């Protein structure tokens, strides 16, 4: 079954990025010249997704405006003959069919995904966390979708993490099936190096069979009162196989200040307009 739909949860508070996120969504912070969330949207589109449901909350309406048409700006650019910019601005609204879903309270990522149940219906779907930027030869979501079409079961993206990473991410107990595919036997949220099963951490891309929704409904809140997607996947594991896919490429944790700066520098260095000048500037500081 073709995977047509994706959910992008964007209803969190972005506390790691305060104070910048006090009155603007983290997902709208700009990496080089595009908001974080646009990287996720473009990756989804390049992976064959046509319909994108964005989970938002109060104070996030700039996301809706961003993916809408902007008649005054478009008219202004047209009058000034700025055709390149006009095309770019128009293209954003046409990237996909967008739908907005409200999460009334930030009750965790699992809960945010559950809010998308009626939008998704009974079909497999992708989830992209907008604060993870993936820079991959094949779009990361496409890598997962291709693996899903072979395996027919929920699959999550995995990356190798260091000791610090075992304190930040869910860690899986893997059974290797092929070079990049692992059957997941167990998982644990932020275990730290002593309790970690492996060095394979869960990152921000997933392709779910719709049976994940029932698993989320059975998931209780964690100590912080949030419904975690990792806990829901653990429940799913009791009855269904779940796979992990070691993606090929590079990933940035742009929801974190240092990761955001690394993504900004690396992606700016790739830009023909100013990459070389930035490289020289950085060299002069080393």
Q: How far is the CB of 36 from ligand UTP (least distance, A)?
A: 8
Could you give the angle at which helices 71-79 and 83-93 cross, rounded to 10 degrees?
160
| CA 82 to mean position of chain CA atoms | 32
Q: Which residue is nearest to ligand UTP (CB)?
A: 12
Number of shown-chain residues binding ligand UTP (CB under 6 A): 23
Question: CB-wise, 152 or 225, nearer to ligand UTP?
Answer: 225
Cα–Cα separations (whole angstroms), residue 152 to 18, 82, 214: 40, 47, 18
Tell me: does residue 55 bind ligand UTP (CB under 6 A). yes
Q: Which tokens belong to 101? A: 């879903």
Distance CA 43, CA 134 (A): 8
Cβ atoms of residues 133 and 254 within 8 Å: yes
Q: What backbone phi and psi angles, to 5 degrees, belong to 112?
A: -60, -40
Question: CB-wise, 112 or 207, nearer to ligand UTP?
Answer: 112
Tell me: does residue 7 bind ligand UTP (CB under 6 A). no
Tell me: does residue 153 bind ligand UTP (CB under 6 A). no
Tell me: does residue 43 bind ligand UTP (CB under 6 A). no
Q: How far is the CB of 217 from ligand UTP (least distance, A)?
A: 16
Q: How far is the CB of 111 from ligand UTP (least distance, A)?
A: 6
| Terminal C-alpha separation, the chain | 51
Tell me: does residue 10 bind ligand UTP (CB under 6 A). yes
Question: CB-wise, 59 or 241, nearer to ligand UTP?
Answer: 59
For 240, the 3-state DSSP assignment is coil
Residues making contact with ligand UTP (CB under 6 A): 9-17, 26-27, 55, 103, 106-109, 111-112, 129-131, 255
């Amino acid at each position: 079954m073709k995977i047509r739909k994706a959910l992008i949860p964007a209803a969190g508070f972005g506390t790691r990025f305060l104070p910048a996120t006090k009155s603007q969504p983290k997902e709208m912070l700009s990496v080089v010249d595009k908001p974080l969330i646009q990287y996720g949207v473009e990756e989804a589109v390049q992976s064959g997704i046509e319909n994108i449901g964005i989970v938002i909350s109060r104070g996030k309406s700039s996301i809706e405006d961003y993916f809408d048409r902007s008649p005054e700006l478009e008219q202004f650019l047209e009058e000034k003959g700025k055709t390149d910019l006009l095309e770019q601005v128009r293209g954003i609204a046409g990237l996909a069919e967008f739908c907005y879903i409200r999460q009334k309270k930030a009750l965790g990522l699992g809960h945010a995904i559950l809010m998308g149940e009626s939008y998704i219906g009974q079909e497999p779907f992708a989830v992209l966390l907008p604060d993870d930027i993936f820079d991959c030869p094949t779009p990361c979501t496409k890598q997962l979708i291709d693996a899903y079409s072979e395996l027919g079961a929920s699959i999550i993206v995995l990356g190798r993490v260091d000791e610090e990473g075992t304190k930040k991410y869910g860690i899986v107990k893997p059974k290797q099936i092929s070079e990049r595919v692992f059957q997941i036997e167990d998982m644990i949220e932020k275990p730290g190096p002593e309790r970690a099963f492996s060095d394979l951490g869960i990152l921000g891309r997933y392709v779910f069979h719709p049976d994940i929704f029932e698993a989320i409904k059975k998931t209780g809140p964690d100590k912080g009162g949030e419904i975690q997607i990792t806990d829901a996947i653990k429940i799913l594991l009791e009855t269904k196989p779940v796979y992990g896919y070691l993606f090929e490429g590079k990933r940035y944790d742009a929801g974190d200040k240092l990761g955001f700066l690394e993504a900004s520098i690396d992606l700016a260095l790739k830009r023909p307009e100013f990459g070389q000048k930035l490289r020289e500037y950085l060299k002069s500081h080393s």
